Amino acid sequence: MPKSYRDLVVWQRSVDLAELTYRLTRAFPKEELYGLAAQMRRASVSVASNIAEGSARSRGDFHRYVVMARGSNNELQTQLVIAQRLGFGDQQIRDNLESLSEEVGRSLTKFADYLRRSDTA
């Protein structure tokens, strides 16, 4: 395993996820600044933040934090569906964000499985 969470591809892609979320939500209506936009931003930032925080803990705790990151990613995916139904943001950015979120979700699942297996070994 890499020495730093910054070397983890899943963390790097999670940071990309947060950046793209901010780009998408900039175009949301002003009245959503403290509503859906803020929720999406918090969820996306939480994905990378949980990976970083968990990396400083025991292997078992790291696993739990990666599972929490996966939950935040699922939350973001739900919020993307709501944004799409409301017609908020640029369609191309939404599509890119959805694809990236799916990629991050798969990576988080694999990483959580790896951590769980290595914690019991």
Whether the pLDDT of residue 120 is over 70: the answer is no
DSSP-based helix, strand, coil % in the chain, nearest 5: 85, 0, 15
Domain total of the chain: 1
Q: Provide the residue range defining the domain that includes 103.
A: 5-120
Domain with residue 92: its CATH number is 1.20.1440.60
Q: Give me the mean pLDDT over the 25-37 stretch.
A: 96
Span between the terminal Cα atoms of the chain, in Å: 15
Q: What is the average pLDDT score of the chain?
A: 96
Per-residue pLDDT band for 57 (boundaries 50, 70, 90) equals very high
* Chain segment 9-26, per-residue pLDDT in tens: 999 999 999 999 999 999
pLDDT-derived band of residue 3, with 50, 70 and 90 as boundaries?
A: confident
